[in-house]
């Protein structure tokens, strides 16, 4: 009887020790998030610190471990002293921006959509002219399906030509081969031909962008996303996988509504896509130059936030809420984040 009691006591102590060791094990996931903080005109606010940010992942508060501001016009990166550079790159090394121009060309040739696209094209030169030498631009168009018009290039004349040609409903040949980063090998032309919705086309582009490191900006020039239902406009079912792909590829959508109208139903979808991915929405039919100037200022700098995700979060997509303690500041951040091991 005594031997049994001693054996039970030993078993209890072993179990208690194992429980204590298990209880002390904490899984810490660090998440990198791209955030833009601007004033009302789109000019980046450059002097924020980790204490200025309030972040929640899911229902739990997340600690901001470091904040890095990247000036995208001078290619200057303010590296945080507390976090080592895990990429192997030299601090403050130059790197260009990656832009994807995604143009919706109306297949039915609706007058307000086509005239709005043609009207905006006259002002697109201002954006092209503002590009830095190291910037790269890829151009896609969507009418009845996805069309690949230009792989990543810093050739401004090639960018101009590809942007102009998006007005046509044609069958463009494969774009010229370019050095890395390149999208050509990651795009299935048959899948592009079968893409019946803009949302599906956006997902294909995002999947092709995912292996390329760093943040990217998609400039969506178009007439709308979503669909009109008896209870109003809602996002299509194809949007959810597209948004997950955009999150995984670190892509923000900047939706410039080219429809020549003060209001239309499907602008709701453009607004939602921009807000959910960390970009913004603007109309271009009245003051296109104002919209482009705001875009240029907003894209001139962003923050990279290193977050410590709460340990109890499961792997997968979770909601993200980013705010700053600065009156009048506008925060452009994705509304979801992918938690990995």
Distance, CA of 245 to CA of 80 (rounded, Å): 28
Tokens matching residue 22: 């298990």
pLDDT in tens, the chain (341 residues): 444 444 444 444 444 443 334 333 344 578 999 999 999 999 999 999 999 999 999 989 999 999 999 999 876 666 553 444 444 443 444 469 999 999 999 999 999 999 999 999 889 888 999 999 999 999 999 999 999 999 999 999 999 999 999 999 999 999 999 999 999 999 999 999 999 999 999 999 999 999 999 999 999 999 999 999 999 999 999 999 999 999 999 999 999 999 999 999 999 999 999 999 999 999 999 999 999 999 999 999 999 999 998 777 788 899 999 999 999 999 999 999 998 86
The SS3 assignment for 292 reads helix
CATH 2.40.50.100 assigned to domain 98-298? The reply is no
Short-list 298, 308, 246, CA closest to 53? 308
222 touches 146 (CB < 8 A): no
Bridge partner list, 77: 70
Tokens matching residue 118: 């043609």
Any idea how long the chain is? 341
Short-list 335, 28, 87, CA closest to 213? 87
Could you count the other beta carbons within 10 Å of the beta carbon of residue 110? 13
Could you count the other beta carbons within 10 Å of the beta carbon of residue 213? 12
CATH 3.40.50.410 range(s) for the chain read: 98-298
Tokens matching residue 62: 């997340």
* 76-77/60-71 β-pairing: antiparallel
Short-list 155, 152, 148, 333, CA closest to 252? 333
């Amino acid at each position: 009887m005594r031997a049994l009691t001693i054996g039970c006591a030993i078993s209890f102590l072993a179990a208690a020790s194992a429980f204590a060791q298990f209880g002390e094990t904490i899984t810490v996931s660090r998440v990198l998030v791209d955030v833009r903080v601007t004033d009302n005109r789109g000019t980046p606010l450059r002097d924020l610190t980790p204490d200025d940010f309030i972040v929640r992942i899911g229902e739990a508060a997340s600690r901001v471990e470091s904040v890095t501001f990247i000036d995208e016009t001078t290619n200057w990166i303010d590296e945080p002293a507390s976090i080592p550079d895990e990429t192997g790159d030299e601090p403050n090394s130059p790197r260009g921006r990656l832009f994807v121009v995604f143009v919706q060309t109306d297949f039915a040739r609706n007058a307000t959509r086509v005239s709005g696209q043609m009207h905006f094209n006259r002002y697109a030169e201002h954006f092209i002219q503002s590009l830095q030498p190291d910037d790269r631009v890829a151009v896609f168009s969507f009418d009845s399906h996805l069309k690949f018009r230009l792989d990543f290039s810093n050739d401004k004349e090639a960018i101009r030509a590809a942007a102009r040609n998006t007005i046509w409903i044609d069958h463009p040949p494969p774009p010229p081969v370019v050095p890395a980063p390149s999208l050509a090998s990651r795009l299935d032309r048959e899948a592009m031909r079968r893409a019946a919705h803009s949302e599906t086309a956006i997902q294909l582009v995002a999947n092709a962008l995912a292996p390329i490191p760093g943040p990217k900006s998609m400039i969506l020039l178009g007439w709308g996303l979503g669909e009109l239902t008896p209870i109003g406009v809602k996002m299509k079912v194809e949007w959810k996988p597209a948004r997950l792909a955009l999150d995984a590829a670190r892509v923000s959508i900047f939706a410039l509504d080219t429809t020549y109208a003060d209001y239309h139903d499907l602008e709701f979808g453009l607004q939602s896509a921009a807000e959910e991915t960390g970009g913004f929405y603007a109309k271009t039919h009245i003051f296109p130059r104002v919209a482009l100037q705001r875009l240029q200022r907003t894209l001139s700098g962003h923050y990279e936030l290193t977050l410590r995700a709460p340990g109890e979060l499961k792997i997968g997509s979770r909601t993200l809420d980013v705010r700053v303690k600065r009156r009048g500041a506008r925060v452009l951040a994705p509304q979801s984040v992918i938690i990995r091991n």
